[in-house]
């Protein structure tokens, strides 16, 4: 597979690349990231390889990420119109202003205008709510987003980092009020973050939302640079967020990934990305890169096809503990399958059910 083998995003006709380029690293305003020139080179190379999907946010590098994109492609309609530019609202860019961020009608519309100015474009292809604003009624947010769609300033909408029940409420509201529907969900998802398989992923598939996972390498833990023999010597920039994950379970998973990488003559991060692409409901993982080498390494994951045996091993090594009622529902087939096979899944026989006609009243 390659970047120019496009896929439709959720229940929509929007065609996007199988990997989305994350632009959180565009700009050095946070003390790390890529320079403007390096960001442009990374962006250009992604486009040259056939990529068309870029993800940013109003708050990334204090707004500089959006401006870098706007300066580079927003001014040129020939370049801009061939791209799917996604950005997010929520971050307050104006200290002291309670309405400077969030998901109220006032805030959403103002943030959209600010992003359009920085991106130097007349429209945003995909506008994300960055996370749930629990202080604003979801009806107000959905109505504001619908207004932006009807005005032509936004083409599609999606939610990021929001509980499944709230996403479902918003989508149901859109359906019954004839608002613009959600087409996508952006959540953290990786071999080390699979708890989303309890509610968020099944919800997305049921409601027709394409999933664009962020942090597919879990902040670099799945990059292969952390090794058991170096345990205790690591001083990653993200501190405890990384070191808390460096336990025996993670090292065992990394060992397995290393074995699989050698079988394919590839790298550990490519195995992580290849596995994520096999997950039901995943459309376009978001890959971030501060250098061209990192981008090329990630893009090469499109050439890796894992065997079913390898996928099964990775699934078992990273199996999460899901919240109730996930396990109960999964085991529940024995109650209603009657020992048959449905859609390829075999149901266990419930020992408490009638085992013969003579036992049934």
Check: CB of residue 155 under 8 Å from CB of residue 87: no
Show the CA angle centred on residue 195, arms to residues 85 and 87, nearest 5°.
15
CA max distance for the chain: 79
Asked if 230 and 250 count as a contact pair (C-beta separation under 8 A), the reply is: no
Question: Which among 6, 60, 127, 189 is annotated as catalytic?
Answer: 60
SS3 content of the chain, % helix, strand, coil (to 5): 45, 15, 40
Contact 17, 51 (CB under 8 A): yes
Contacts of 144 (CB under 8 A, 6+ apart): 103, 104, 105, 108, 109
Active site residue 60: yes
Asked if residues 267 and 304 have their Cβ atoms less than 8 Å apart, the reply is no
Q: Answer for the pair 338, 347: CB distance below 8 angstroms, yes or no.
A: yes
CA-to-CA dists, residue 128 to 162, 194, 198, 219, 361, angstroms: 11, 22, 22, 21, 55
Tokens of 174: 């859109």
Find, among 94, 108, 115, the residue nearest to 138 by Cα.
108
Q: Catalytic site residues?
A: 60
């Amino acid at each position: 597979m390659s970047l120019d083998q496009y896929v439709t995003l959720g229940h929509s006709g929007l065609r996007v690349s199988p990997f989305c380029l994350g632009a959180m690293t565009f700009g050095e305003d946070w003390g790390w990231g890529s320079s403007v020139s390096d960001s442009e080179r990374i962006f250009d190379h992604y486009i040259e390889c056939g990529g068309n999907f870029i993800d940013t946010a109003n708050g990334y590098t204090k707004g500089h990420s959006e401006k870098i994109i706007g300066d580079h492609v927003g001014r040129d309609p020939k370049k801009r119109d061939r791209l799917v530019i996604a950005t997010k609202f929520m971050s307050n860019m104006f200290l002291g202003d309670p309405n400077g961020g969030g998901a109220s009608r006032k805030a959403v519309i103002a943030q959209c205008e600010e992003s359009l100015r920085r991106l130097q474009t007349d429209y945003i292809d995909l506008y994300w709510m960055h996370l749930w604003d629990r202080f604003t009624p979801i009806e107000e947010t959905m109505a504001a987003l619908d207004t932006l769609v009807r005005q032509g300033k936004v083409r599609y909408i999606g939610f990021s980092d929001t509980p499944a029940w709230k996403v479902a409420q918003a989508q149901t509201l859109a359906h019954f009020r004839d608002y613009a529907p959600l087409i996508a969900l952006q959540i953290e998802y990786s071999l080390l973050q699979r708890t989303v398989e309890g509610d968020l992923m099944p919800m997305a598939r049921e409601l027709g939302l394409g999933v664009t996972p962020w942090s597919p390498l879990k902040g670099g833990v799945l990059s292969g640079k952390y090794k058991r023999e170096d345990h205790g010597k690591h001083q990653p920039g993200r501190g405890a967020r990384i070191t808390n994950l460096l336990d025996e379970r993670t090292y065992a998973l990394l060992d397995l990934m290393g074995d699989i990488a050698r079988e394919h003559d590839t790298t550990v991060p490519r195995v992580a990305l290849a596995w994520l692409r096999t997950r039901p409901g995943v459309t376009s993982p978001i890959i971030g890169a501060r250098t061209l080498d990192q981008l090329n390494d990630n893009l090469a994951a499109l050439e890796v096809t894992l065997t079913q045996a390898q996928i099964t091993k990775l699934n078992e090594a990273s199996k999460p503990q899901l919240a109730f009622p996930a396990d109960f529902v999964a085991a529940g087939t024995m109650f209603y399958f009657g020992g048959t096979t449905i859609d390829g899944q075999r149901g266990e026989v419930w020992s408490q059910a009638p085992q013969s006609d003579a036992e049934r009243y």
